[in-house]
C-alpha cells in the first residue's frame, strides 16, 4: 500500500520509501545501506564507480551484478585497479557478468589512478568526499517522493562534479555525484516517515567524519 507522499507499508508493517519495494534486492539495500554513512575508501570508490555504470540504466541492474563487478575490479581496491593494463581492459569488455561499456570501464580504470592521487593529497577518499557534506540547516527533511525526485542535482553536487572533472575523474556528473552522496549517507534523503530516516539520522549523528590527514 502506498500514499501520496511516496511511502508504502510493507508486509512487516514498516513504512518505507516507495522505491524500496518490488525486487527482493531493493528492501535490504534500502533498509541497511542507502543513506547510512560510509567512510571506507574501497566502498566509496566502488559506489562512485557503480553510479557511473548505472548512468542510463536502473540501479536494480547494477545491484544484480554488484558481486560480479567486485570480482572483476579487485573488490574496488583502487590501488590494484590503477595497475590494470590494456589486457585487463579487454578482459573486462568481454566479461558478461558486468556492464560491458568501453567508456565506463576506461573511466573506472582512470578514476582508480585519480583516487590514488586523491589519497596522496587528502589522506583518504573519505576526507575528500565528506568535505562536501552540506550544512545540516540547509537541508530540510524530504517530505515527499516529488520533492526527492526534484533533487536529482544540487549546487553542492554540481560543485563536486566540477571539481572531480578538474581532477581528471570521468563519468561523475552532477546527477551521479548527488546519487553517490545520497547512497553514502553524506545526505539523508529517506522520505520523512520512512523507518530508515531516523536510523540514518542516528547513524550520522554518531558518525566520526573523516578529516584530511597531514601529508608528508
Residue 177 has pLDDT above 70, yes or no: yes
Q: What is the pLDDT of residue 3?
A: 57
Q: How far apart are the first and last CA of the chain?
A: 56
Q: Considering the domain boundaries, does residue 64 fall inside one?
A: yes
Q: At 150, is the pLDDT very low, low, confident or very high (cuts 50, 70, 90)?
A: confident
Residue of 26, 46, 51, 169 with catalytic role: 51
Across the strands, what pairs with 15?
9
Residue of 8, 59, 132, 133 with catalytic role: 59
Supply the DSSP string of 46-94, one letter for each residue.
Answer: HHHHHHHHHTTS-HHHHHHHHHHHHHHTGGG-HHHHTT--HHHHHHHHT
| 68 within 8 A of 98, measured Cβ to Cβ | yes
Q: What is the chain's mean pLDDT, rounded?
A: 93
**Does 8 qualify as catalytic in the annotation?**
no
**Does 51 qualify as catalytic in the annotation?**
yes
Q: What is the pLDDT of residue 37?
A: 98
Residue 216 has pLDDT above 50, yes or no: no
Mean pLDDT of the region 132-160: 82
Residue 146 has pLDDT above 80, yes or no: no
Q: Quickly tell me which residue has 589519497 as its cell.
A: 119
CATH of the domain at 164: 1.10.340.30
Residue 144 has pLDDT above 90, yes or no: no
Residues spanned by the domain of 14:
7-125+140-206
Supply the DSSP string of 127-173, one letter for each residue.
Answer: HHHHTTPPPGGG-PPB-SHHHHHTTSS-HHHHHHHHHHHHTT--S--
Count the domains in the chain: 1
Residue 20 has pLDDT above 80, yes or no: yes
Q: What is the pLDDT of residue 1?
A: 46
User: Smallest Cα–Cα separation from 53: which of 37, 39, 72?
Assistant: 72
Residue 148 grid coordinates: 526527492
Residue of 29, 128, 145, 178 with catalytic role: 29
Burial class, 51, CB count within 10 angstroms (exposed 0-12 / middle 13-18 / buried 19+): buried
43-101 pLDDT per residue, tens: 999 999 999 999 989 999 999 999 999 999 999 999 999 999 999 999 999 999 999 99
Task: Kindly report whether the global pTM for this prediction surpasses the value 0.75.
Answer: yes
Q: List Cα–Cα distances, 206 to 70, 132, 139, 192, 199, in angstroms.
A: 29, 18, 18, 20, 11
Q: At 4, is the pLDDT very low, low, confident or very high (cuts 50, 70, 90)?
A: low
**Does 59 qualify as catalytic in the annotation?**
yes
Q: Considering the domain boundaries, does residue 132 fall inside one?
A: no
Q: Considering the domain boundaries, does residue 131 fall inside one?
A: no
| 214 within 8 A of 28, measured Cβ to Cβ | no
Which of residues 1 and 181 earns the better pLDDT score? 181
Percentage of the chain beyond pLDDT 70 is: 96
Mean pLDDT of the region 101-106: 97
Q: What is the pLDDT of residue 29?
A: 97
Q: What is the pLDDT of residue 147?
A: 74
Amino acid at each position: 500500500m502506498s500514499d501520496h507522499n511516496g511511502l508504502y507499508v510493507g508486509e512487516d508493517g514498516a513504512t518505507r520509501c516507495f522505491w524500496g519495494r518490488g525486487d527482493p534486492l531493493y528492501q535490504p539495500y534500502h533498509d541497511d545501506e542507502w543513506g547510512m554513512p560510509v567512510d571506507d575508501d574501497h566502498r566509496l570508490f566502488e559506489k562512485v564507480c557503480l553510479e557511473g555504470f548505472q548512468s542510463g540504466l536502473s540501479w536494480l541492474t547494477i545491484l544484480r551484478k554488484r558481486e560480479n563487478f567486485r570480482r572483476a575490479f579487485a573488490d574496488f581496491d583502487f590501488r590494484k585497479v590503477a595497475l590494470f593494463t590494456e589486457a585487463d581492459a579487454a578482459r573486462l569488455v568481454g566479461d558478461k557478468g558486468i556492464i560491458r561499456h568501453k567508456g565506463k570501464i576506461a573511466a573506472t580504470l582512470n578514476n582508480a589512478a585519480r583516487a590514488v592521487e586523491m589519497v596522496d593529497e587528502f589522506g583518504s577518499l573519505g576526507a575528500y568526499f565528506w568535505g562536501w557534506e552540506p550544512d545540516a540547516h540547509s537541508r530540510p527533511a524530504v517530505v515527499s517522493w516529488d520533492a526527492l525526485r526534484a533533487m536529482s542535482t544540487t549546487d553542492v553536487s554540481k560543485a563536486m562534479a566540477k571539481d572531480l572533472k578538474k581532477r581528471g575523474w570521468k563519468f561523475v556528473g552532477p546527477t551521479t555525484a548527488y546519487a553517490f552522496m545520497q547512497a553514502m549517507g553524506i545526505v539523508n534523503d529517506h522520505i520523512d516517515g520512512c523507518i530508515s530516516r531516523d536510523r540514518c539520522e542516528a547513524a550520522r549523528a554518531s558518525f566520526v567524519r573523516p578529516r584530511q590527514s597531514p601529508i608528508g
